[in-house]
Amino acid sequence: MANVSVEQWVEMFRVVGLTDDDMRRWHAEFERRHPAGHQGFLEWLGLPAERIAQVRRDSAKI
Domain tally, the chain: 1
Determine, yes or no, domain membership for 28: yes
Structural domain including 46 reads 18-61
Determine, yes or no, domain membership for 13: no
Cα separation, 33 vs 50, whole angstroms: 22
Q: Is pLDDT at 62 greater than 90 in this prediction?
A: no
Determine, yes or no, domain membership for 8: no
Determine, yes or no, domain membership for 9: no
Predicted confidence at residue 2, as pLDDT, reads: 58
Predicted confidence at residue 3, as pLDDT, reads: 84
Predicted confidence at residue 30, as pLDDT, reads: 97
Determine, yes or no, domain membership for 4: no
Handedness of CA 26, 27, 31, 34 (dihedral sign): positive
Cα separation, 44 vs 5, whole angstroms: 9
Q: Which long-range contacts (CB under 8 A, 24 or more apart) does 23-29 make?
A: 24/58, 24/59, 24/62, 25/62, 27/55, 27/58, 27/59, 27/62, 28/59, 28/60, 28/61, 28/62
The tens digit of pLDDT for each residue in 5-58 reads: 999 999 999 999 999 999 999 999 999 999 999 999 999 999 999 999 999 999
